Structure 1
Amino acid sequence: MTAYEFSADPSRLDVDWIHAILSTQAFWARGRTRAAQEAAVASSRNYGMYADDGAQVAYARAVTDGVTFAWVADVIVDPAHRRQGLGTRIIDGLMADLEALGLKRVLLKASPEGHELYRRAGFDRLDEPETWLGRRLR
C-alpha cells in the first residue's frame, strides 16, 4: 500500500505534472499554457500530496492576501490515486495552513461532485450569496 505525504514546501512541486494534469484533465483549466500555470504557482500558496516514491499525486493552491481572505483553486488528484482520501487530506492540510494565518474567510468554487468533500472540510453555501458578484474577464 502506498503511503502519502502532504507538503506545503514549494520546492517539492512538480510543475510539469501540475501543468499536464490541469491543462488536460481539469475542465476549468483545459488548455492553460505552461507560462500561465507557472505564474499561477508563483503567485499562490501551493500544496501537494506525494507518494512514497516522491511523485506528486495531488495539488491545490490558495490565492490570498495573507491577512483576511483566500480563494482555493486548482484542487486535483491524479486519477490513479483517487478514492484514497487524498482530496480530504490536501484540503485539511491547506486549511490548517490558512487557519494559522488568521484569515476571516476562505472561498472556493466547486463542481457539484466536489460539494461533499468541501462540506466535510467545513465549507458551506455563502450566508448571503446574493451579495457576491463576479465578472468574467476572458
Structure 2
Amino acid sequence: MSAYTISTDTTLLNFDVIYHFISDSYWAKNIPRDVMARAIDNSLCFGAFSEAGEQVGFARVITDNATFAYLADVFILEQHRGQGVSKMLVEAVMKHPELQGLRRIMLATKDAHGLYAQFGFETPDDPSILMQICQPDIYQRKT
C-alpha cells in the first residue's frame, strides 16, 4: 500500500504549500497570492498527500468538462520525489471522470516530458496549428 494519496477534496489543500512552490517556479515566478487563489478556485485541483496528511504535491486542470483541458501547475515537493508520487498524481488526473472523452488535453513543460509521455502526451504532429500569447514575466512587471 502506498504511503501517499491523491484527492480532489479542495478542503484538504494547503494553499501556503501550493503558493510557496508555484510562486518560486520557472513558469509562474512571483505570481500574486490572489491570482493563485483565483486559479485554484476556478480549476479542478488534485492534491498529493503523505500518510501523515501533509500536502506533498499538486496539479490543477483548467477545463470545460466537455472537449478540452489544460494540465497546469504540477509539482511534487523535492523531498518526496523519486517515490512514484508524480505518476500517481498524473494517473489520477487522467482517470478523473470529468476528464474522460475530451478531444484535447494540453500542457506545457520544460523538464518532465518523460513523465507525461507515459500517459500518452506527445509533441504536436503539426505545431504550426498552435498559437499563443505568452507573457512569461507578467508577474515581475506588476507592482
Please, what TM-score do these two structures have when normalized by structure 1? Answer: 0.92
Higher helix share goes to which structure? 1
Q: Which runs of 5+ in 1 are unaligned?
A: none
Instruction: Give the direction of change, closer, same or farther, for the CA distance of 1:50–1:74 in structure 2 (3 Å limit).
Output: same
1:131 aligns with 2:129: yes
Which position in structure 1 is the counterpart of 2:109? 110
Deviation beyond 4 Å, 4+ runs, structure 1: none
Secondary structure in structure 2 of the residue aligned to 1:30: coil
Distance 2:97 2:85 in 1: 18
Distance 1:20 1:136 in 2: 23
Which position in structure 2 is the counterpart of 1:49? 48
Pick which of 122-131 and 52-61 moved more.
Answer: 122-131
Secondary structure in structure 2 of the residue aligned to 1:102: coil
Distance 2:114 2:41 in 1: 29
Q: CA deviation at 1:101?
A: 3.8
Which position in structure 2 is the counterpart of 1:79? 78
Q: How does 1:1-138 map to 2 (within 5 A)?
A: 3-24=3-24, 26-97=25-96, 100-111=99-110, 113-137=111-135, 138=138
Distance 1:118 1:99 in 2: 19
Distance 1:20 1:76 in 2: 11
Distance 1:136 1:120 in 2: 27
Equivalent AA in structure 1 for residue 5 of structure 2: E
Q: CA deviation at 1:12?
A: 1.1
**% same residue:** 33
Pick which of 123-132 and 73-82 moved more.
Answer: 123-132
Equivalent AA in structure 2 for residue 121 of structure 1: F
How many residue pairs were aligned? 136
Q: Deviations over 1:6-62 (max 9, x none)?
A: 1111111111110011112x1111111111110000010000110011000000000
Q: Which runs of 5+ in 2 are unaligned?
A: 139-143
Equivalent AA in structure 1 for residue 117 of structure 2: R
Q: CA deviation at 1:114?
A: 0.3
